[in-house]
A and B are shown apart, each in its own frame.
Chain A
Amino acid sequence: MTRTTIPASRSTGVVVGPVRATWLSVESHWLWYRRNWRSSAFSTFLGPVLFLLAMGFGFGSQVRPGAATGGLSYVEHLVPALLVTTAIQNANFDSTYAVFSAFKWSKTYWGAVATPLTPGQVFAGQLTWNALRLGASLAVFLAVAGLLGALTGPAVLWAWVFALLAGTAFSAVVVAWTATRRTDSAFNGLFRFVVMPMTLFTGAFFPMSDLPSWTWPLAWITPAWHGIELSRGAAFGTLGPVALLGHVAYLSALVVVGAVLGRRYFTRRLAV
């Protein structure tokens, strides 16, 4: 009898499950971060705090509590919204240049997909890492705001949840989009024409009613506006259940759309 066979493997490698694979990818980002956190410490931690000091306490001291601030001091009114805009700004770099580099400059994604990991798992790892890092940086920001006496009460913790959701929604969509970019030329434009307006004109610093009404629909499609509505509404107890569900549904839908597209675009780019 003749048996044709591939002789037993001497290889020690095995295929890990999708959750574990995603987590291993997260681990590698964490290892990188532990070595290189200094380079992003200013933009991630110090920048937002300086912003809180300048806008919240500096500029805010000129604003008298009133209807526009829900009767609160300007800085108290600002913090939940600032958490959202900080989330979007912090997510921006991790979702553009960091991702683009892993495709094009450091090429680390290409290394990862030569292992049992799949492009979809590499994408999932990146997005999970972005969300975890966002969660950590927002927690630090919230703690600092607390030390500075800018928090109204425990309900502000909800602002952390919704800022994280808004930031992750933004990240999911932008990471997916970045996977389709062949050059880094669009990232500056994204920052100037999308991220900046999205953080300035969606009601964080002054009511949207001060803006011409034709700008409102533009704000309504941004994750920032939904995040700010949620985060302020939950922190100050002014949010009705319908609005709550609506905003959460919109942001969750963005996460899902970003995840589906991201998986597809990562696969298209890495398995050519």
Chain B
Amino acid sequence: MTTVDLPLVRASGLTKHFGDFEAVRGIDVEVRRGEAFGFLGPNGAGKSSTMRMVACTSPRTGGDLRVLGMDPDVDGPRIRSRIGVVPQEDNLDTELTARQNLEVYGRYFGLSRAHVRSKAVELLDFAQLADRADHEVEPLSGGMKRRLTIARSLVNDPDLLLLDEPTTGLDPQARHLLWDRLFRLKQSGVTLIITTHYMDEAEQLCDRLVVMDGGRIAAEGSPQDLIARHSTREVLELRFAPGDQDAVVPVVTPLADRVEVLPDRLLLYTADGDGVLDAVHARGVRPLSSLVRRSSLEDVFLRLTGRTLVD
């Protein structure tokens, strides 16, 4: 007998309307056990709306959705008992201590006092908050609150962890610390779904992701896949003095596979950035600065939607 793992999340034609507004316009997604799956998209793409439907806190408007094999409309509480949720906005009880936040939350999952007590110790350690365990949450830094929220989401040892923009608004150091924690979770076999508008976050953490824009999915694949499919190997970025850029566009366009014109710079897509830069110089074009880099998900997003991720 062979056992085929059903996907932990399966959505087809999933929609969400708020009044007349269509926030999610029919998306198809499958998330498999053990993978880290990402929703990459700008603000307003419909990422949080999707996450809240998967978290069984927001009823879907249409389409089909199965989470852990169950229908959220029927088995919401049962599904919620087995998943962990890190919402976009922290909703910790800031007037309780870090430890109390974990213990109270654990109790909601039907866990015994003894269990939540020892679990809280373990999670405070994991979140590197052991020394703040009995401090009130209010004065903690943004990064610490975020780590506590993640710790809280793990209190029931979830089969599936939903993280809505886990690092938005944090400084680089705090982000790296969080990434490290999420990486450990992934290593330990927890299935992760992450939304983000940071392409580096998606590249770092996600095995597979969808690019979302305007409530729709524009593309799906691993970060490397998406870059290979929708962009070139390298990108040459050229910056010019204000006003000089427009005249240069027709000159450099034939040199690259594709050129994107951003307000402050030109992006030349090519397999060989240095070669194109030489050619640019040979035509007498003198940019203020130039940079050759590898293609990123940002480029994929630009290609697919004509817009940048973070403006």
Contact = CB atoms under 8 A, between A and B. Distances in A.
A5 B6 contact: yes
A31 B57 CA distance: 25
Contact of A116 (B2, B4, B77): B77
B107 to A, nearest CB: 5
B81 A15 contact: yes
Given A6-B6, A11-B158, A118-B77, A271 B105 contact: no
Contact of A13 (B1, B8, B55, B111): B111
B207 interface: no
B100 interface: yes
A11 B2 contact: no
Interface residues of B, number: 47
Interface in A120-165: none
A110 B58 contact: no
A108 interface: yes
Contacts of B27: none
Nearest to A39: B95
16 contacts: A2-B1, A3-B4, A4-B4, A5-B4, A5-B69, A13-B109, A13-B110, A14-B81, A32-B93, A32-B96, A35-B100, A110-B57, A111-B87, A111-B91, A115-B80, A117-B77
B78 A116 contact: yes
Interface in A194-218: none
A185 interface: no
B214 interface: no
Interface string A1-33: 111111101111111100011001101100110
Interface string B150-170: 001000111100000000000
Contacts of A108: 91, 93
Contacts, number: 129
A115 B87 CA distance: 12
Contacts of B152: 111
A5 B6 CA distance: 5
A31 B104 CA distance: 8
A239 interface: no
A183 interface: no
Contacts of B3: 2-5, 7
A10 B91 CA distance: 26
B55 A114 contact: yes
A237 to B, nearest CB: 45
Nearest to B136: A35
Contacts of B18: 272
Interface of A: 1-7, 9-16, 20-21, 24-25, 27-28, 31-32, 35-36, 106-108, 110-118, 270-272
B80 A116 contact: yes
A180 B191 CA distance: 37
Contacts of B171: none
Contact of B8 (A6, A14, A113): A6
B6 A12 contact: no
Given A12-B115, A271-B57, A36 B107 contact: no
A111 B105 contact: yes
A110 B78 CA distance: 17
A36 to B, nearest CB: 6
A271 B59 contact: yes
Contact of B94 (A2, A5, A106, A110): A106
Contacts of A14: 81, 109-110
Nearest to A6: B69
Nearest to A267: B59
Contacts of B1: 1-3
A226 B145 CA distance: 47
Contacts of A118: 76-77
A111 B104 CA distance: 11
A25 to B, nearest CB: 8
Given A111-B91, A116-B110, A12 B96 contact: no
Contact of B157 (A5, A10, A114): A10
B81 A13 contact: yes
A7 B1 CA distance: 15
B229 to A, nearest CB: 30
B121 interface: no
A64 B83 CA distance: 68
A35 B59 CA distance: 35
Interface in B104-136: 104-105, 107-111, 115
Interface string B36-74: 000000000000000000010111000000001100000
B92 interface: yes
Contacts of B258: none
B62 to A, nearest CB: 16
A35 B95 contact: yes
A11 B108 contact: no
Nearest to A105: B94
Contact of B33 (A4, A7, A32): A7
Which residue among B6, B57, B85, B158 has the maximum number of chain A CB atoms within 10 Å of its CB? B57
Contacts of B78: 15, 116
B108 A112 contact: yes
B311 interface: no
Given A24-B107, A112-B108, A2 B2 contact: yes
B181 interface: no
Nearest to B111: A12
B82 interface: yes
Nearest to B79: A116
